[in-house]
Structure 1
């Protein structure tokens, strides 16, 4: 895998971790275990992601998240709890992919991975808060299912076709920016609608 592909994989996994961290950890652990992702020599400690116990715990977390994410307001509570966890996970996933032998580069990769995960997490949490404001429960389930399909599809594409990872990362950034703008506008409109009229 070339440097650009590695950067694309790291960016894509960090962005996807902001939506579905546990699924990302389980998928990366399995990919490392079966040899789809080569672990950089300088960061052998992150080989822990391929440990069967870590994969198992991440799989249980992914299943819990799958169900918690379908229930209105429970998804917002789940997102609130994971506001610190997802960025840290995204940062560690970026470190697991990039061979950052220079300590300054390690810090840069860690910060960029965490920032990408925080950005996508913020877009997800904002969109879900806006969707939860609607009175019917079906939009929440539809949005959650779309996130599941996008996350699993993105993970599959990134891990099986690393050459496409840069395109996936760019696409995810565009989706995240659109979600942030749409969420901001929906919440602003809701705030105007709920404010007392003079």
Structure 2
């Protein structure tokens, strides 16, 4: 039987990894450092000073970059290769002392959750960035900052509530991601119509 607190911890770390990886790493490490929570042995390294310095610095970078339209999408593209593997690794770290079967399921589920959250975040931002005004982008970014803090608090204080909400979030992802994909394809087709590839420039004979 998987304990609900462990399930909530693995869930919140993988979920947050998809859009605020460094905040999740830094906050988890700080909470363990000051004995607010006790992280599993495989994740205790997050509370070591060198790791906190690096994750804290990257948290600041991500916080600032995420507020700049277009730059945030470029950052998301690069972070694809970081967020998903670490989301899987963090879930594994929570269940590292469980049976191999549970470890495998946790790793796969953690990676899938991080990937789904990342795709939803990056896709939503790409569509919002099509608008020239920055306020929608800022609103989404600050909402994501708050969501990480709220999610971590819920997972630690009310793990069952968080697990239920996470299950509902997964259902939302299943519904949302295909719509985002269709929206991004429509956006790309519109971009191609504005800037047709291979179009010849008109030359005035005069």
- TM-score class normalised by the smaller sequence: 0.7 to 0.9
1:173 aligns with: 170
In the alignment, structure 1 residue 135 sits paired with structure 2 residue 111:
no
* CA offsets 1:128-166 (integer angstroms, 9 cap, x no match): 111111122221111111111112221222233333321
Which range moved further: 89-98 or 143-152?
89-98
63 and 46 in structure 1: CA distance in 2 versus 1, 3 angstrom threshold:
same
Alignment map for 1:6-155 (pairs within 5 Å): 6-40=6-40, 44-155=41-152
Following the alignment from structure 2 to structure 1, what is the Cα–Cα distance between the partners of residues 68 and 123? 16
Structure 1 residues 75, 178: closer, same or farther in 2, change over 3 A? Answer: farther
Alpha-carbon distance in 2 for matches of 1:32, 1:95: 18
* 1:134 aligned counterpart, secondary structure: coil
Contact 1:158 1:168 in 2 (8 A): no
Give CA deviations for 1:39-72 in whole Å, capped at 9, x if unaligned.
Answer: 44xxx34321121221221111111111100111
TM-score with structure 1 length normalisation? 0.84
Residues 163 and 104 (structure 1 numbering): CA distance in 2 closer, same or farther, change over 3 Å? closer
| Alpha-carbon displacement from aligned partner over 1:8-40 (angstroms, at most 9, x marks no partner) | 221122111101000000111122223343344
- The answer for unaligned runs of 5 or more in structure 1 is none
- The alignment partner of 1:101 has SS state of coil
CA distance in 2, matches of 1:165, 1:84: 27
Taking the aligned partners of 1:11 and 1:167, their CA distance within structure 2 comes to 11
The CA RMSD over aligned residues, in Å, is 2.3
> Aligned pairs, how many?
193
Query: Rg larger in 1 or in 2?
Result: 2
Q: Which has the higher contact order (CA 8 A, sep 6+)?
A: 1
Equivalent-residue separation in structure 2 for 1:99 and 1:37 (angstroms):
17
